[in-house]
């Protein structure tokens, strides 16, 4: 892998179509001119980076340069120019491992063993080279190609750190909520074992299609993890071999000093003797559960991307407490990953949740079905009746806005509703006070008549108690001067049912503000 400080990227590569995009970077397919080989180029606009961000970029590149393994997405080239830094990676075309599994005609415990073996091989290589990934999760497990039997590849070393030997230290609060280890949540010194804990969570999901730790409330989720409180419920675990459960138990050991290592896990009978030990019976229920698990996390990721549209590469979420009690959160990163690496601890063992989040789900945004097992999920997963109910609720909410009826609006919205909207100037707003100002001073006061239409609604149901609706909102109104206007906005709303009542817990609205119609509009 070359590090080129003088060569221009365009001398060696020809850029092709866009593959992905962030606030400070874009990923495009590229072709190496000398060989015709295809790669993925991550292009970072370094002018937008702070000094701390630039250090993180250099750390990621340095780590990727020393990791060369068939189960790791390889960095082939790193080119620094005046305003841009180019990282040239393997072009990985097979998509996510978890998405591939649900598309297979046959999937068994032995297949799960082969998957986790490849993941452990990549983790073992990282650990042998003094690297801790810190963000192992399904989104970072990719397939080299769409060919049958393609290699699993570990990706995204943006949170990875370098350690000396078996060094344990406090490297900051980093990871993804459901995959965080007890020692990280307790803010204790940690090291390589955090990756093994995440592997244990992944293996659990690979076998039954749902995670070992889950709660609607993030505080309770973290309490579960810190206590290592998971189980193997019937009937889905009855058909899993004892050896598989034994490996999970050794991975999900709360004490990191007693947790199995990657090298040891690779020698476990369920891994190295899978032909003899692992079951080869097709696990259709696992595939069905995994489909729903994938759908939930995809929607969750889409919602968080919407919520956190203005990406903060330095991974901070600063919540400004206002005198009225509402919160205005500066926008943050676009994944569910969390990172805090230089915020001082306020108290031993307590996560400072007001300053440690790259993309924490607001505590009142419930995006996943409460059921822990697949069998508890509703049979009418795509039930049209509930979709109609969500559409009707959305119509009622928009009617309240058009009428300037704050009382009705407040009854439909969660008290801690979060929102992205033009009036908030790119910030994530929490609470109703920000909206109430517009109800009290503008809504219904500047227009003679208002008509609102919902166009092309798309509704996603997430279990029985959560849903997301995306639509185009077309608003016609006549201003006080008798002039007719039409305004179009794109909106996404997240609904959650609490104690039998649906509440709007988050929304995102794009488009320009108008004088008197859409919620909380300023009179420009």
**Nearest Cα to Cα of residue 128 among 261, 287, 284, 220:** 261
Dihedral of CA atoms 450, 455, 461, 462 in degrees, nearest 10, equals -70
Q: How far is it between the farthest Cα atoms of the chain?
A: 82
Integer Cα distance of 287 and 281 in angstroms: 13
Integer Cα distance of 254 and 221 in angstroms: 15
Q: CA-CA distances (angstroms) from residue 54 to 44, 50, 60, 497?
A: 10, 6, 10, 43
Residue with tokens 């009418």: 380
Residue 464 is classified by DSSP as: T
Integer Cα distance of 468 and 386 in angstroms: 11
Alpha carbon distance, N-terminus to C-terminus of the chain: 54
Residue 360 labelled as part of a binding site: no
Residue 165 is classified by DSSP as: T
Residues annotated catalytic, as ranges: 135
**Nearest Cα to Cα of residue 362 among 418, 413, 432:** 418
Q: Is the Cβ–Cβ distance between 66 and 58 less than 8 Å?
A: no
Q: Is the Cβ–Cβ distance between 206 and 116 less than 8 Å?
A: yes
Residue 105 is classified by DSSP as: S
Q: Find the radius of gyration of the CA atoms of the chain.
A: 25
Task: Say whether 236 sits in a helix, a strand or coil.
Answer: helix
Instruction: Please report, in range form, the residues annotated as the binding site.
Output: 42
* Binding annotation for ATP: 42
């Amino acid at each position: 892998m070359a590090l080129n400080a003088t060569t221009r990227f365009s001398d060696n590569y020809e850029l092709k179509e866009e593959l992905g995009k962030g606030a400070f970077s874009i990923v495009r397919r590229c072709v190496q001119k000398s060989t015709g080989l295809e790669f993925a180029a991550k292009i970072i606009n370094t002018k937008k980076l702070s000094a701390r961000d630039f250090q993180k970029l250099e750390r990621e590149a340095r780590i990727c340069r020393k990791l060369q393994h068939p189960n790791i997405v390889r960095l082939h080239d790193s080119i620094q120019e005046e305003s841009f830094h180019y990282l040239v990676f393997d072009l990985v075309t097979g998509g996510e491992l978890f998405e591939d599994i649900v598309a297979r005609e046959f999937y068994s415990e032995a297949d799960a063993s082969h998957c986790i073996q490849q993941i452990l091989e990549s983790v073992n290589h990282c650990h042998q080279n003094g690297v801790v990934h810190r963000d192992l999760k399904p989104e970072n497990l990719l397939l080299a190609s769409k060919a049958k039997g393609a290699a699993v590849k570990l990706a995204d070393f943006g949170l990875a750190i370098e350690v000396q030997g078996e060094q344990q230290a406090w490297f900051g609060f980093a990871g993804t909520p459901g995959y965080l280890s007890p020692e990280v949540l307790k803010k204790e010194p940690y090291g390589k074992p955090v990756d093994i804990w995440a592997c244990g969570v992944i293996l659990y999901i690979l076998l039954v299609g749902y995670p070992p730790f889950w709660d609607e409330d993030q505080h309770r989720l973290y309490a579960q993890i810190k206590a290592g409180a998971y189980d193997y419920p019937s009937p889905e675990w009855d058909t899993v071999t004892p050896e598989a459960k034994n490996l999970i138990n050794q991975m999900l050991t709360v004490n990191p000093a007693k947790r199995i290592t990657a090298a040891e896990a690779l020698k476990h009978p369920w891994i190295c003797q899978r032909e003899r030990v692992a079951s080869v019976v097709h696990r259709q229920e696992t595939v069905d559960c995994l489909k729903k698990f994938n759908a939930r996390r995809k929607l969750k990721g889409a919602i968080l991307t919407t919520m956190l549209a203005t990406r903060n590469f330095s991974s901070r979420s600063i919540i400004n407490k206002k005198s009225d009690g509402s919160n205005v959160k500066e926008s943050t990163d676009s994944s569910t990953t969390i990172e805090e690496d230089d915020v001082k601890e306020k108290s031993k063992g307590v996560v400072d949740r007001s300053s440690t989040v790259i993309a924490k789900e607001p505590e009142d945004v419930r995006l996943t079905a409460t059921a822990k097992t697949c069998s508890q999920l509703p049979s009418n997963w795509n039930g049209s009746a509930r979709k109609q109910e969500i559409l009707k609720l959305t119509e009622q909410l928009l009617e309240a806005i058009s009428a300037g009826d704050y009382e009705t609006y407040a009854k439909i919205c969660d008290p801690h509703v979060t929102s992205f909207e033009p009036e908030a100037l790119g910030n994530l707003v929490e609470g109703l006070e920000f909206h109430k100002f517009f109800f009290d001073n503008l809504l219904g006061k500047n227009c003679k008549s208002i008509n609102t239409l919902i166009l092309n609604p798309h509704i996603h149901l997430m279990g029985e108690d959560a849903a997301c609706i995306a639509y185009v909102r077309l608003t016609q109104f006549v201003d006080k001067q008798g002039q007719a206007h039409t305004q179009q906005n794109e909106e996404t709303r997240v609904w959650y049912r609490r104690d039998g009542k649906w509440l709007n817990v988050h929304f995102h609205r794009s488009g320009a503000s108008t004088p008197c119609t859409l919620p909380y509009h300023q009179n420009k």
